[in-house]
Amino acid sequence: MSSKIKCAIIGSGNIGTDLMIKIMRTSKNLEMGAMVGIDPASDGLARAARLGVATTHEGIEGLTRLPDYKDIQVVFDATSAKAHLTNDAILRRDGKKVIDLTPAAVGPFIIPVVNLKDNLDQPNVNMVTCGGQATIPIVHAVRRVAKRLVYGEIVASISSKSAGPGTRANIDEFTETTSKAIETVGGAEKGKAIIILNPAEPPLIMRDTVFTLSQGASPEEIEASITEMVAEVQKYVPGYRLKQKVQFEHIGDNAPVNIPGIGEVSGLKTSVFLEVEGAAHYLPAYAGNLDIMTSAALVTADRWAESKLKMEAA
């Protein structure tokens, strides 16, 4: 019995390459089996080859032809929403666990600190978006202490240098996927997501702002829940932190806010300001948006692999 489970990464761009480095340096339960791309000249494939990882530039078809394909149990897909639909059909046919880093959302949304335990054995899980991974834990932290979470809005501001062609081509999918996950995972009745690509030089570290409107919880209860949640996320994203003290504003019945689809509502407005600094395994430290995605994907797969190895050892 192997002490680690073999995995493959489809997508040899920035996200895929950073994920490969994280797996090789930090994973206790996974080992690289293959790096897959479509550009034979990509830095990700060249780096993988130098590190002794099997490579192919022929996409999913090339992966299935590799000699060790049969031994690979987990596949990370860091391509695009459209490509994932084709990849997933082949991978699930062949019994592979699929970790989806695209906005395709074929499987359930996963935010590790919120709902990983309940979805650990799903054949395909979706990592939402970078903005979702950074902000939905905070939305959920409010929801778990409030009687009602009426609204959740997030603004993810990232350096334009850390937004590759895949991110730029999927802006609409980013906002739609994140908004939906704010509701289905975060627990808000209504969710909204905004992304800002900031061209500032030198590049800015990822910043996220979370606004919620809730009822039935005190500022002290909400702040304590948020502080606890930040500590939980920091276990796999050390550069995740509050940028300043949580802010509160009481919205009275005399001046309610109008939430589209819900109507006029009063309650407690909570404003949370976050910063996400990357670990700089492959990407620069300012690219916290990419780092939190690869970190969340790794902890998701690592925990599944740990569970499977324990079952095999039993």
Residues labelled catalytic:
130
* 56 bridge partner residues: 36
Q: How far apart are CA 103 and CA 182, in angstroms?
A: 14
Q: Structure tokens of 202?
A: 């030198």
Distance of CA 55 to the CA centre of its chain: 25
Distance in angstroms (rounded) separating the CA atoms of residues 223 and 245: 9
Give the pairing of strands 263-265 and 257-259: antiparallel
Rounded-to-integer distance, Cα 163 and Cα 287, Å = 9
Closest listed residue to residue 266, CA positions, set 277, 278, 275, 253: 253
Cα of 36 vs its chain's centroid, Å: 20
